Amino acid sequence: MDRILHIPNYYKPHIGGIEQTCHDIVDSLAGAYEQKVLCFSEDEQDKCEIIDGVEVRKCGVWKKVLSQSISFSYKEALDEYFNNYKPNIVIFHYPNPYVAHYLLPYLKDNNIRFILWYHMDIVKQKFIRKFFDLQTKRLINRANQIVTTSPIYKEKSKFLKNVQEKVIVIPSCINEKRLILTDAEKDKAIKLKEELKDKKIVFSFGRHVKYKGFRYLIEASKYLDESFKIFIGGTGPLLEKNKKLAFGDNKVEFLGKLSDSDLKVYLSIMDIYAFPSITKNEAFGLALAEGMYFKKPAVTFTIEGSGVNYVSINNVTGLEAENRNSLDFARCINELGKNEKMKEEYALNAYKRVEELMLFKDFKINCLNLLNDN
């Protein structure tokens, strides 16, 4: 049986699109391959856990520098896996430049099949990313196969434009079983919807960091009338700043960290899913796909080169606003909120798009086909 080493940044139960995608890959390949996962820990402690029957080694993090985790035990763990476990397939989730530095020497062994799961270009650190351009090109040149999550990223990434022949598109997926409401959750949703019966409910969820663009949703609220209610879930370093920005606007309510149960409740009662991300750091948008699965239209920004506008299609599954234009974002929300026929049409289209392209059953087939393609 082939041995796979998966290398993401973090892993379950850490919440994030890359981590969820890695877990879905592992789940897809269960039983067909021997698998292990090497990643960072969420604290300073080294850990070795069995998660869903798979060994997951988590290396303690000393600190983060420019969003990159630094671990003194990572190199030793990598040595151990390559010397003892001897993987013949490596699936590496990019970007992760610290790990790439230690990984590249092992990839000189051409007997190792190297699959580069290319989530995004490094776009945030304008100066640092120049130093990683050579590293990125080495990874791409070495890769036997490269996976992107949308055709937009495949076509628009400056690093991938010259290697199109080995780039494969596998959209990330949602696991619909995780989104089924219990009877108790349905009851809670009915009561909450009744309390808000006179409101058009707008919901948004994610980490409060700059590229998620919550400030633009908060600013958009100032252009909406009192018939709208905006709920924003999630935590992060910009949460308090965003709360100050919304001060005095009773239409906006922050929900903080949401349990999976409460998340499902708000997804089920909303009328519109707001997804205000603004840069290519948002490469796909799993949270966006989840909102669409609940038969809700989406409002997004137009992001050049991002898969967000592949997940939700303008004037089909939702509306797109000019990037970073709060007034235009408000216009889109208002248009969907006041046009019931449009809202219902786009809501059904949103569900159909996720059902056709982004469910786990299709993702599993795509992953198995990828590994079977020699």
The reported pTM is 0.91
Q: So what's the pLDDT on residue 125?
A: 56
Overall average pLDDT of the 47-53 stretch: 95
Compute the distance between CA of residue 295 and CA of residue 272 in angstroms, rounded to an integer.
Answer: 9
Q: Exposure of 154 by Cβ count < 10 A (0-12 exposed, 13-18 middle, 19+ buried)?
A: buried
Q: Please determine, for residue 175, whether its predicted confidence score (pLDDT) is greater than 90.
A: no
Residue 201 has pLDDT above 80, yes or no: yes
Q: Which of 346, 52, 45 minimizes the C-alpha distance to 37?
A: 52
- pLDDT in the model for residue 308: 96
Within 10 angstroms of residue 148's Cβ, the number of other Cβ atoms is 25
Separation CA 356–CA 267 (nearest Å) = 20
Task: Tell me the C-alpha distance between 204 and 333, whole Å.
Answer: 12
The whole-number average pLDDT for the span 77-87 is 96
- Mean pLDDT to the nearest integer, 222-231: 98
